[in-house]
Amino acid sequence: MAEHTQDSGPVTESMMDKITEKLHGHDSSSSSSDSDNEKSSPSPMKKPEVNRLFGRQKTLHEVLGGGKRADMLLWRNKKNSSVLLGGATSIWILFELLDYHLLSLLCHCLILALTILFVWSNASSFINKSPPRIPEVSIPEEPVIQFATALRFEINRVLAVLRDAATGRDLKKFLAVITSLWVLSIMGSCCNFLTLFFIGFVLLHTVPVFYEKYDDQVDKFAEKAMAEIKKQYAVFDAKVLSKIPKGPFKDKKRA
């Protein structure tokens, strides 16, 4: 009986070795087949690159300047953006549709506020309540300087564009400036400055959100439109602009 148990020990060990060898062989074959499948499986198709509008490389949030201003324009904070757009709409309705005037509005608001504060201050002794605390209101210097600096920068940039267009160095820029001014003159004849400013304000708070949501479709359409514009400009250049005689100043400059 003891001899039988001693003989069965090596037999069971050899059987266990064979089973483990088969298991290891199956795992290695399955892993190799998986790796072969991974190698043979085609790589995912890359999306075709789209030329972004105006050749931008940054995100739209960075293009708009980032920070709270970009968040406001892209409606990241819907409450603040809706309040701002609603306030601008109310001002336009008040001044344009109701034919109200800014000076009258300011005077009426000051009359109402001063009357309420005056009555409250004099009636506080009769109703046993503390008089209103009127804070000292003053305009801080830093925001005014920042606004003036930003406005100065934008005005200087517009003046630089107008100067470059007037020097005659870039015909495309000259035609673009003339076309833009012509479109603005047509819009100015159709509506006043307040309506024009309101339209620009509404577009500034709606177009970036629309573009951020459908940027791929807009970029593809803009790419096709720019290609067609370049094609038509090449035809116009060949038929018209190339036949215009050049002035003596350019001839001397080239010589």
**Rounded Cα gap, residues 93 and 194, in angstroms:** 10
**Rounded Cα gap, residues 81 and 69, in angstroms:** 10
pLDDT over 80 at 240, yes or no: no
Residues in the chain: 255
Torsion sign (Cα): 226, 232, 234, 240: negative
Residues 89-100 pLDDT 10s: 998 898 888 888
pLDDT over 80 at 33, yes or no: no
Give residue 18's pLDDT.
Answer: 57
| CA triple 221-223-228, angle to 5 deg | 95
Give residue 27's pLDDT.
Answer: 47
The pTM assigned to this predicted structure is 0.53
pLDDT over 80 at 82, yes or no: yes
Q: Name the band, by pLDDT with cuts 50, 70 and 90, for residue 145.
A: very high
Cβ-based neighbours of 52, under 8 Å, separated by 6 or more: 215, 219
Cβ-based neighbours of 216, under 8 Å, separated by 6 or more: 50
Give residue 41's pLDDT.
Answer: 47
Residues 38-71 pLDDT 10s: 444 444 444 455 556 655 667 777 777 777 778 8
Give residue 204's pLDDT.
Answer: 87
The two three-digit tokens of residue 247, written as one number: 């002035």
Which residue in 212, 30, 76 sits closest to 84, CA to CA? 76
pLDDT over 80 at 113, yes or no: yes
Averaged over 214-237, what is the pLDDT? 83
The overall average pLDDT reported for the chain is 75
Q: Which amino acid is at 90?
A: S
Residues 174-217 pLDDT 10s: 888 899 899 888 887 887 888 888 888 898 888 888 888 887 78
What angle in degrees, to the nearest 10, is found between the helix axes of 193-204 and 171-190?
120
Element (H, E) at 13: helix 2-40
| Cα distances (Å, whole numbers) of residue 86 to 70, 91, 211, 212 | 18, 9, 21, 22
